[in-house]
Structure formats: C-alpha cells, structure tokens
A = this chain, B = another copy of it.
Amino acid sequence: MKKHTIKDILSDYKRFLHHNITVQGWVRAFRSNRFIALNDGSTILNLQIVVDFEQFDEELIKNIKTASSLKIEGEVIESQGAGQSIEILAKKITVLGDNFSEELEKTVLQPKKHSLEVLREQAHLRFRTNLFGAVFRLRSAISFAIHQFFNQNQFFYINTPIITGADAEGAGEMFSVTNFDLNNLPKDENGEIDYTQDFFGRKTNLTVSGQLEGETAAMGLGRIYTFGPTFRAENSNTTRHLAEFWMIEPEVAFNNLEDNIDLAEDFLKFVINYVLDNCKDDLEFLDKRFAEEQKQKPERERAKEGLIEKLQNVVSKRFKRVSYTEAIEILLASKENKKGKFQFPIEAWGADLQSEHERYLVEKHFECPVVLFDYPKEIKAFYMKLNEDGKTVGAMDVLFPGIGEIIGGSEREARYDVLIQKMKEMNVDEKELWWYLDTRKFGSVPHAGFGLGLERLVLFITGMTNIRDVIPFPRTPKNAEF
C-alpha cells in the first residue's frame, strides 16, 4: 500500500519531518478551532493537525466536527506542545463525507455518556471508540501470532467442516442447519420429518469442535491446527458464554501428553510475547483502563497485578504442572474447603473441578498458571487416552489467573480396541464415527491436541470482563442483530 497511515507517520516521524504529506482519517476532537485530533484506525494514537482557521473558509471549519472524515494535506512539523513529537500544519482540508451531527449525539460517538451495554447494541459503531479499537486490534494481533506460531513450527492450517452430520462428541447443544421451508416440512410414511429431502439428505448441525476431523488430518499431515467458528445452542446469558465463538485446535501426530503440555505452554507464551512486543500502545491504553477500574473496586477485590504486569508474569514463569490427584489433595487440605467457603465443596477424588477450585489453585495456592493433568476418566471425553491405572485419562487443562480454564486438551486414545471399549461404555455411536475409528486402523500413532477459545484469550490479554466485548458481533440468546 502506497498510502501512509497515521501509524507509519508517528512511528517513523523523522522520515516525514518537513515533508508535505496527505493523511485521511476521522476527527476525534477539534479544540479551539485550531487543533484536530485525527485518527485513521491504524493506531490508538491520534495525529495532531494544526489549523490556522483564518486561512480557511468559515463553512469548512464549521463542518469539522467530532466524527467528520477529513483529508488533510500539509507539512509535517515539530510539535510545539507536549504529548506528541510531530504535528501537521494543514495547507488543504477536504471534508470527505456526510456527517449527520444531529443524530450523532445519540450514538456511541459521543464520549463518556455511553456504557459498554449501550455500545453492544451499536456494535457496528464501537470500532470507532478508543476502547474497541484497541480490543479489536489486539484480537487481530493475537490471531496473527497464532498463525505465525503454528506456521513456524511446521503446522498446517486445516479447515474442518462447519456444517456437519456428525453428532458424536457431545461437547454441547447444537444448532440445526436446514434448507426446509418450516411451514411445509416433508414427512415420511411414519409421519416423521423426512430429512432425506433436506439439502444434505440428512439432519445437519453447526459444529461444536473440529477436533475429530482434525485428528484425521494429523494422521496424514503430522501437525495441523484449525482456526474457525464453533457453536453452542446453550441458553446461557452470562459474561462468559457465546453461541458463536472462535476456536483454535492443534493436533499433533507422535505427541504424548507431556509434549502436548509443552506445546500449550510454548504457544500461549509466544502469543503473549507477540502482543507485548507488537501492541504496546493499545496495551498501555488498556493497562490504564484496567488500573482505573481496579481503583473503583473495594480493596479486597482488586487485582494483585496490573494488566501488562500480569502478562509479563505469565510469560516469565514456568507453568506449574500438577496432577488432578495432587490438586484434589491440595483442595481437600485447603482452609477454603474445610471452612465451607467453596460453593461446591470438594468431598473426594473424582469430583469435577469448578471455576472456584481452579481459581483457588491458580490465584491463591500456586500464584502462577497451572496445568492440571490425568483426570478421572468418568469426567472426560471418550477419545482421551486411558492411563495404565485404568482410572484416569491423559487429559490436561491450562488454568490462567482471573479466567480459569483457557486450554483443554488430551493425548488421544490411539489403540483401536481400547477406543471401541470406551465408546461402548460412554454410549458413543460407533457407526456414526466409522471414519474416526479408521484413523486407529491404518497405522495408528500416539497423538495429542488441545482447544483454545480465542475469546477467552482475548479477554485475558485485554482485561475486558464481558466476552461480548471481545468479538465484533456477539451471538447470544435473543441476539443476532447485524
């Protein structure tokens, strides 16, 4: 691209000094009919435009309002004021497009008046605020770092199907996909809906995970990852649930559980280091916001670390690796459990861990990211590798401060006969999964993988607290606008 963004100009300003340049952007503020803060989305930083209003038409000056779009031609000069190294002395100003200022007052673009809830209903406009600009630039940087990590480690990016006839993983409630006219459903002789007449000739759903298909790809390509949308039709109106969210699922042939944990730790640290290195301005903005939010909380509820500090700590500490069995012992021995402070008290080995337990381990007991592994087989999925004890499976969860589980994965059961046995025990349909079983027939190999919910990681890195604020157009019960 031959045009210069405001990021180009500010990050390499010496190159531009005393040159005439053209910049385009939106007015964030216009002070004293003299100083325009111009933003073009490339960075959270504004470029200051100095306007000698006597040199310009009065009508033009009147049209320069918050949210106006401008093209500025002018000279890059050293800034007289504090806060920026350079500014542009405007020589020509063009108003680019319509700006309906009377409606503007009611919207998102009027700073301070709006809350995050109001902005959610104006999701198409929140990209123009400092906060959401920062969040979505970070989401983008995180996504790129994910692709870069996998690419440099020889993983191949695979697109697993979104519409699927497979309904076997049991990861959650699914949405149906159909081409039927619901007012005129074809029925078979038994009065049942005749799905053979639907578009795909069968009942189909939106995927809840690409893992099983991903495994088949890893059996040929070795190292693969998915990065795509997944869906849950669960009626959960919480700050942590979305009906549509993005998952990253690597799968690696020849990896065992320990390799899998190593991969998860390397991966998370790579991504967080990437944003620490590449997204300083946005992170500093979010760090300040986070600090201000903490100040308004009662002291005992405040975070111990600042946002950037938290990220730096995560990348500098080795994640603590603890078996489920050890974790249960720690929890059983904890004051919290003994004094009945957990909503779900831990009574014995075999208990499913809740968010409160995970957060106790991470935030109070170890004070660092924790990887739990070797869970009881009863509380984990059928495809996880049965350990030699016959009681546990090679599952792993990575737990992060403030957020709980950020990654869940496992070594997979590679032995055909053991897998069949587990499917029987757990009522998973073998016929439905004939293709999955095939991967254990023709040169089965140990393999392992995990899933990361992108939005959880974006929440953690940005310090936002509602998952609806880290995806551009959230899909939740009763909400599919846009």
Which A positions have Cβ atoms within 8 angstroms of B? 1-3, 5, 7-8, 24-27, 40-42, 67-69, 71, 96-100, 103-104, 107, 109, 123-129, 132-133, 136-137, 139-140, 143-144, 147, 151, 153-154, 156-166, 173, 175-180, 182-183, 185, 192-193, 199-202, 204, 206, 213, 216-223, 228-229, 231, 233, 235, 243-244, 246, 253-254, 259, 262-263, 414-416, 435-436, 438-446, 471-473, 475, 477-482
Contacts and interface: CB of A to CB of B under 8 A. Distances in A.
Number of identical monomers bound together in the oligomeric complex: 2
The 9 lowest CB-CB distance pairs between A and B, nearest first, are: A127-B220, A97-B444, A41-B222, A124-B216, A200-B480, A201-B478, A69-B443, A140-B156, A128-B220
A161 B473 contact: yes
27 contacts: A1-B223, A41-B253, A67-B443, A69-B444, A96-B254, A96-B446, A97-B414, A97-B415, A97-B444, A99-B442, A100-B416, A104-B442, A107-B442, A123-B435, A124-B436, A128-B442, A144-B157, A147-B147, A159-B471, A162-B162, A165-B482, A173-B179, A176-B177, A176-B178, A183-B192, A200-B479, A201-B477
B221 A480 contact: no
Contacts of A100: 416, 441-442
B478 A221 contact: no
Given A97-B415, A442-B67, A220 B176 contact: no
A166 B482 contact: yes
Contacts of A8: 154
A100 B435 CA distance: 14
B178 A183 contact: no
Given A147-B147, A165-B482, A199 B235 contact: yes
A97 B221 contact: no
Contacts of A262: 2
Given A143-B157, A414-B97, A223 B165 contact: no
A97 B445 contact: yes
Nearest to A150: B144
Given A97-B415, A107-B442, A159-B246, 11 more contacts: A1-B263, A5-B154, A42-B223, A100-B441, A136-B156, A139-B157, A144-B157, A161-B472, A175-B177, A183-B192, A200-B478
Contacts of A124: 213, 216, 435-436, 438-439
Nearest to A417: B98
Contacts of A5: 154, 222-223
Q: Which residue of A69, A162, A177, A231 has the most chain B CB atoms within 10 A of its CB atom?
A: A177
A137 B151 CA distance: 11
A182 B175 contact: no
B175 A178 contact: yes
Given A140-B157, A217-B127, A475 B414 contact: no
B482 A435 contact: yes
Q: Which residue of A123, A161, A201 has the most chain B CB atoms within 10 A of its CB atom?
A: A161
Contacts of A217: 127, 136, 472
A435 to B, nearest CB: 4
A340 to B, nearest CB: 38
